[in-house]
Chain A
Amino acid sequence: MMMRMVLQRLGIGIATLFVVSVIVFVITSILPGDVADIILGQSATPETLAALRAELGMDQPWYIRYFSWLGNLASGDLGISKAGGASISSLIDSRIWNTLIMAGMVSLISIPISIVLGLWAAMHPGTRLDRIVTFGTLSTISVPEFFIATIMVLIFAVKLKWLPATLYLTGNENWSELLKAMAMPMITLVIVVSAQMIRMTRAGILNVMSSPYIEMAILKGVPRKRIILRHALYNAIGPIVNVIALNLAYLVSGVVIVETIFSYPGLAKLMIDGVQTRDLPLVQACAMIFCAVYVILILLADIASILSNPRLRHPK
């Protein structure tokens, strides 16, 4: 039963990736101008264009092009960028680590903070701290992230001059320099993602707290801390894990604005650059990576909530 559900989710995940690949391919194909146009640029003549297209395999019907693209993608060959003909894999390779380091650091800070604050607020609903947390998270959720980023720049870079406003990484920084450079985008992202996770943790726990079995635990004389950590948290894992997964996915793919504001050389920034220079193979590759990250994280969250459900873990 459980195994079947997990396999089913896996199947749906793969199907989703497949559908997305079609969409990405089709959309980038209907955009005006193709790689041949871009490579030849001003010197293009109908003859050279045709020759180059034939050489690139672009005179083939669309479905053959699609499957050869998909096949290359699956085997790790992401194609050639128009910018100097560098392979896209090498372009992405340099950026993806920056993105992963940032996402990792932000998660390491924000997930524990969120769960602790969310639980704390749920344990003391209606108290001053709960209201401060609720007010704080609501305000950060309703304010766009570029606004938070701009305020950070204004305070820490312009007024206090503690941190650089934009960063330029050479790859030779030591840890403390790297941390200093990453501080502002990191803090911005921590604020943005924590707010959602805190709210969801609080709401998930409070939702469970109105169940009869919680009242029963109170009537059994179970201390409040144990009620929350043992009785309530176990039943709220599903929604909490899901919101964490969504936020992690956002950290990899959705941080375009933050990366742009701080000119942080991450994957999202690379994609934006690709769009600006009409480097379609690069855009396609980035889009597929983002989508894969989303699908994998949501899949993991789904599996986690299936595993946390005793009805599925221990069938009758």
Chain B
Amino acid sequence: MEKEVLVEVKDLRISATSDEGVEIPIVKGVDFNIHKGEVVALIGESGSGKTTISLASLAYTKPGLHFAGGEVKLRGDDLLSMDPLKQRSIRGAKVAYLAQSAAATFNPALTIGEQVTESAVLHGILDQEAATKRAEELYEALELPDPQLIGNRYPHQVSGGQLQRLMAAMALCGKPDLMVLDEPTTALDVTTQIEVLKAFKKVIHEENSAAIYVTHDLAVVAQIADHIVVLYSGEVMEQGPADQIINRPQHAYTKRLMEAVRPKPIAGLGTDVGAEHNRDTDNLEVREVTAGYGGNVNGEPKIPILKDINVSVKNGHVVGVIGESGCGKSTLARVMAGMLPAARGDIILDGEKLEGSLQDRKLSELQKVQFVFQMADTALNPKQLIGNIIGRPLEFYHGLKGKEKHAKVSEILEMVELPPEFASRYPMELSGGQKQRINLARSLAATPEVLLCDEVTSALDSIVGANVIKLLTNLRDKTGVSFVFISHDLSTVASFADEIVVLYAGRVVEQGPTDEVLVPPFHPYTRLLISSVPEMRIGWLEDTMQKREMAVGISRGVEMTSVGCPFYNRCPMAMDGTCNTTIPPILKLNDGHEISCHLTLDQLNEVEADTRRTLDAAEA
């Protein structure tokens, strides 16, 4: 039975006007329909125009863009040709928008309740009392804590995952016909992403509303979409039912997108370092480090973040550091780099103890350990030419000047696979992926021994991110530089790292060679992380929620503890009286593989077998 058509997008064209007054088409004639109760996914890499198209259903364009033609009909009325007052009456009432970052879209100065109910009350859909009541019902449906009280709080008083769900409540409060979800889970940890996806799916189903879901993540799309539109450079490449696009893609571009989907984090994906660089000596070592913020009292940091950390980075190896946000990954890198002196413990470089603070380290020591920041946008000075950005460390560490420096800049640009002409450009003129390469090039210019990469691919879409990883692998093979690769994305780490360090609440809960860490036995936290990585398979979300680690592990945040195992309150195997009182011992397994847990090896293996059985039962 054909469902009623809710939205009809016909030959939609959107253009930008350049400074010279030339029209640049951004969206070049897009057609698709949305039926009632259907979730349509717009997928494509950055620059494909997916956000621009989704905003057209609110008759809105970002500043600098304008509608150049076509129609967006909601129940037969064209939104684009309406007068502005009528367009405003559609926004928030008939069509509601959910943005990528809830943290940025909630007004910090107003209460959550006011913002959630604002639209419904302004448009006269509900009075304030009814709207507040409806909001409370939505909080409940979205599984938010304290439904009666959470509305009185301010955005900074709730967690990121909660804010993301509150944004869904804000969109749904006015009972819209259509929701536009713009990458609503991209910025989240895998565990939070599951929690939010589950809530969205439930609420879309219960409210029977239609939705446009914008994302570059096919694994997420597979969980939520009914119909998929594949976009590239403002044009539709292919569209069809989710099952057809995911399982039998026709277009070459769709197939390319599929290939860039992060593989399941399994053992055996990593590459080996070239023999000439593979020396089994420690390059950088972190020994018994405790660190935190707010100054030290009696050798203990006021706000402790890291506790008794032992990590070693071997020459030419890639050490992946994983864990959810708030686990201390970036703090660890900052301690290694000397940006945050440790309260206790040592940092050792090539057998020599390093001073804790940057200021006290020697120039040669600074040169050997370089930092690559997450956001190239903020790390690169927008007023400096690329040539100067890369030239500065050449001058500072190697004393290169004039022609010599110039030649070296070209050489380094070539290393990051960019043409030498880029030296005379400004960061603003580059794409996100290119900027991240420059960010990397700047650190490489110091010819470091250890590169500390803090979430360098997290802000990039999957295709661009995969290319950056390929580049890092090449660099490692060519130069033998060691990497500390921090990421919350387990799949990327699995495909790139030689060793993995799993951090939870400032402690190392598991570490060892990648191929050991990613096969059972797992630390319960590693297992939760692995189960949370979405697979590009329809029905995966429902399957994974069956697993027992999900029941307790999801919907709880990271909490620092001073006694016992920090994972106690999220662990399905936690033993009261042991886990919450005693710091877990370290189980030493093959090949330097270590798990910090109270369970014995046999018990961990038993959990594994048990999960298998439950899953098999669910399938049968």
Instruction: Provide the bound-state CA to CA distance between A308 and B156, in Å.
Output: 14
- Decide yes or no: A223 and B122 within 8 Å by CB, A212-B99, A216-B97, A314-B154 being known contacts: yes
How many residues of chain A get a CB closer than 8 Å to chain B's CBs?
22
A212 with B101: in contact, given A222-B122, A231-B110, A311-B108 (CB under 8 Å)? yes
> Which of A212, A223, A231 is B88 in contact with, Cβ under 8 Å?
A223
Contact B122 A221 (CB under 8 A): yes
B92 touches A219 (CB 8 A): yes
B73 within 8 A of A: no
B615 to chain A: closest CB distance in Å? 39
CB neighbours (8 Å) of B118 from chain A are: 217, 220, 222
- For B90, list chain A residues within 8 Å (CB): 221
> Once bound together, how far apart are the Cα atoms of A316 and B104, in whole Å?
18
| Chain A 181-222 interface mask (CB, 8 Å, partner B; 1/0) | 000000000000000000000000000000111011111111
Task: Find out whether the CB atom of B108 lies under 8 angstroms from the CB atom of A221.
Answer: no
Flag A272-316 by CB within 8 Å of B: 1 or 0 each: 000000000000000000000000000000000000101100101
Does B105 lie at the interface of the complex (its beta carbon under 8 Å from any beta carbon of A)? Answer: yes
Interface residues of B in 304-344 (CB under 8 A from A): none
Counting chain B residues whose Cβ lies within 8 A of the other chain, the interface size class is 20 to 34
Interface membership of chain A positions 88-104, coded 1 if the CB is closer than 8 angstroms to chain B and 0 otherwise: 00000000000000000
B119 sits at the interface (CB 8 A): yes
Q: Does B426 contact A (CB under 8 A)?
A: no
Q: B467 at the A/B interface (Cβ < 8 Å)?
A: no
Complex CA distance for A123 and B88, rounded to whole angstroms: 17
B156 and A219 contact, CB distance less than 8 A:
no
Q: Judging by beta carbons under 8 Å apart, are B107 and A221 in contact?
A: no
A216-B99, A221-B90 known; A310-B156 Cβ under 8 A? yes
Flag whether A114 is at the interface (Cβ < 8 A): no
A253 contacts partner chain B, Cβ-Cβ < 8 Å: no
Contact present for A234 and B110 (CB under 8 Å): yes
Distance in angstroms between the alpha carbons of A235 and B105 in the assembled complex: 14
Taken together as a complex, chains A and B put the C-alpha atoms of A219 and B62 apart, in Å, by: 11
A316 to B155, CA, bound (A): 10
- Beta-carbon contact of A235 and B153 below 8 Å: no
Give the number of residue pairs across the A-B interface with Cβ within 8 Å. 75
| Interface residue from B58, B88, B93, B157 paired with A314 (Cβ < 8 Å) | B157
Q: Report the bound CA distance from A217 to B96 in whole Å.
A: 11
Tell me which of A215, A218, A220, A311 has the highest count of chain B C-beta atoms within 10 A of its own C-beta. Answer: A220
Please name all residues of chain A whose beta carbon is closer than 8 Å to the beta carbon of B99 when the two chains form the complex.
212, 215-216
A4 within 8 Å of B (CB atoms):
no
B 146-192 contacts with A by CB, 8 A: 153-154, 156-157, 170
Contacts A234-B109, A310-B108, A311-B156 hold; do A220 and B101 have CB atoms under 8 A apart? Answer: no
A287 to chain B, nearest CB (A): 38
Q: Are B88 and A310 in contact (CB under 8 A)?
A: no
User: Does B91 sit at the interface, judged by CB under 8 A?
Assistant: yes
In chain A, residues 219-238, which have Cβ atoms closer than 8 Å to a Cβ of chain B? 219-223, 226, 230-231, 234-235
- Chain A residue contacts of B96, Cβ below 8 A: 220
Q: Which of B96-124 contact A (CB under 8 A)?
A: 96-97, 99, 101, 104-110, 118-119, 122-123
Contacting residues, chain B, for A219 (C-beta < 8 A): 55, 58, 60, 91-92, 97
Complex alpha-carbon distance, A314 and B123, angstroms: 30
Note all chain A residues with C-beta closer than 8 A to B105.
Answer: 212-213, 215-216
Which residues of A sit under 8 angstroms from B119, Cβ to Cβ?
220-222
> With a CB–CB cut-off of 8 A, which chain A residues contact B278?
none
CB A210 to nearest CB in B, in angstroms, measures 9
The distance in angstroms between the C-alpha atoms of A226 and B119, with both chains bound, is 12
In the assembled complex, the CB of A57 is this many whole angstroms from the nearest CB of chain B, namely 46
Contact B110–A230 (Cβ < 8 Å): yes
Can you identify 26 A-B contacts, CB atoms within 8 angstroms?
A212-B104, A212-B105, A213-B104, A213-B106, A213-B108, A215-B99, A216-B106, A217-B118, A218-B91, A219-B92, A219-B97, A220-B122, A221-B93, A221-B122, A222-B122, A226-B122, A230-B110, A231-B107, A235-B107, A235-B109, A310-B154, A310-B156, A311-B108, A314-B154, A314-B156, A314-B157
B residues sitting closer than 8 Å to A (CB atoms) are 55, 58, 60, 88-93, 96-97, 99, 101, 104-110, 118-119, 122-123, 153-154, 156-157, 170
Known: A219-B97, A221-B91, A314-B157. 6 other contacts (CB 8 A): A216-B99, A218-B60, A221-B123, A230-B110, A231-B107, A234-B110
Nearest first, the 4 closest Cβ-Cβ pairs linking A and B are A221-B91, A220-B92, A221-B92, A234-B109
Chain A residues close to B by CB (< 8 Å): 211-213, 215-223, 226, 230-231, 234-235, 308, 310-311, 314, 316
